Amino acid sequence: MRQFSNALHRKTRSLNLTNCIIAPITQSTRPLSVSSVACKATTPELKMPLTDILEQGKITAALEECKNADSFHHKQFFKTCGLTGKSHADVKKVFDIIDQDRSGFVEEDELKLFLQNFKKDARALTDKETKEFLKAGDTDNDGKIGESEFADLVK
């Protein structure tokens, strides 16, 4: 009987210990970053609505202009959606939205899904468009677009 009670006691203790360990982990931001990585491969989640910065009508018009494959031109898109000439703060906000995994850079896979930041079911850019977009912005040739490179693209 004493053995049983000891075992029970141990079990209870280990359970409590488990609770103590699990609680802080679930409260941390770690599960959030895991889910944002998982989302990267599929449709990006909207972090904040771009309509806070850009007019919905202009976004729709910009997407309409490049709805056909290989018809995307970044200068035209930024102009039509109203991003050209926006303040540095607004451009940074847009950059942060496009940088889905918050790495501080827009990598090629994020660039490919660029249009989906503006509309969830927008098409992905073709490989040709993605490469041209990257080439136009990546002035330091590190294979990704940094914040200042993005700001130069938008000008």
Residue numbers belonging to the annotated binding site: 99, 101, 103, 105, 110, 138, 140, 142, 144, 149
Question: Residues 131, 71: contact at Cβ < 8 Å?
Answer: no
The yes or no reply on residue 152 touching Ca ion (CB under 5 A) is no
Q: What DSSP character marks residue 28?
A: S
Residues facing 132 on adjacent strands? none
The tokens for 97 are: 């939205």
What would the x/- binding string for Ca ion be over residues 105 to 124, using CB under 5 A? --x-----------------
Nearer to Ca ion, 55 or 142 (CB): 142
Binder to Ca ion among 53, 86, 138, 150 (CB under 5 A)? 138
Nearer to Ca ion, 80 or 154 (CB): 154
Label residue 73 exposed, middle or buried (CB < 10 Å: 0-12, 13-18, 19+).
middle
In angstroms, the CA 96 to CA 104 distance is 8
Tokens 């018009």 belong to: 61
Nearer to Ca ion, 17 or 37 (CB): 37
Binder to Ca ion among 18, 142, 148, 152 (CB under 5 A)? 142
Residues in touch with Ca ion (CB under 5 A): 99, 101, 103, 107, 138, 140, 142
